[in-house]
């Protein structure tokens, strides 16, 4: 057998193997199980909107979300929001105490550095509140 015939044989075998592998993948990927879920019309609309944003059918979107669960559970997320609100309130109380003492003239003129830091804290608080309310602008992180 010539080298040319050997190459042809190899290609036939490889081609046949690829076709069989593709068939196996198709059979293994067949969706045979069905899942029924009850939800409100609003939940269904929100799910449909998310699927559309990702350019997927609802089934494809649900499968993709199920394969890649979030890094943080809903309970962990809610707990972190509660903790953030608590911390922001503490910062606000401290700022109010500083303002009260300042207005009572019990402190000397605040330094420019302190005022700059207060501006930074204020900007971070605004950004955090915007994010917590669902704002999409997260460039202030």
Distance CA 17, CA 40 (A): 48
Q: Which residue has the tokens 């799910």?
A: 47
pLDDT on residue 9? 53
Distance CA 17, CA 11 (A): 10
Interaxial angle between packed helices 41-53 and 58-67, expressed in degrees from 0 to 180 and rounded to the nearest 10: 80
**Residues of the chain predicted below pLDDT 70:** 1-28, 69, 106-108, 110, 135-141
Q: How far is CA 124 from CA 76, 112, 116, 139, in A?
A: 22, 18, 12, 11
pLDDT on residue 44? 94
pLDDT on residue 42? 95
pLDDT on residue 32? 85
pLDDT on residue 20? 55
Residues 6+ apart with CB under 8 A from 64: 54, 56
pLDDT on residue 57? 92
pLDDT on residue 7? 47
Distance CA 133, CA 138 (A): 12
Q: Which residue has the tokens 């939940």?
A: 43
pLDDT on residue 102? 77
Alpha helices for 2-139 (secondary structure H): 3-28, 41-53, 58-67, 74-103, 112-132
Residues 78 and 132 sit within 8 Å (Cβ to Cβ): no
């Amino acid at each position: 057998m010539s080298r040319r015939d050997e190459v042809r044989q190899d290609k036939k075998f490889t081609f046949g193997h690829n076709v069989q592998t593709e068939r196996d993948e198709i059979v293994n990927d067949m969706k045979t199980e069905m899942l029924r879920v009850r939800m409100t019309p609003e939940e269904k609309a929100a799910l449909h909107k998310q699927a559309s944003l990702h350019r997927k059918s609802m089934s494809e979107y649900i499968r993709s979300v199920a394969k890649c669960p979030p890094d943080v559970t809903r309970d962990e997320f809610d707990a972190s929001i509660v903790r953030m609100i608590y911390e922001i309130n503490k910062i606000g109380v401290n700022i109010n105490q500083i303002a009260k003492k300042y207005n009572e003239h019990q402190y000397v003129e605040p330094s420019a550095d302190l005022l700059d830091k207060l501006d930074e804290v204020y900007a971070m608080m605004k950004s955090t509140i915007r994010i917590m309310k669902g704002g999409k602008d997260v460039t202030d992180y």
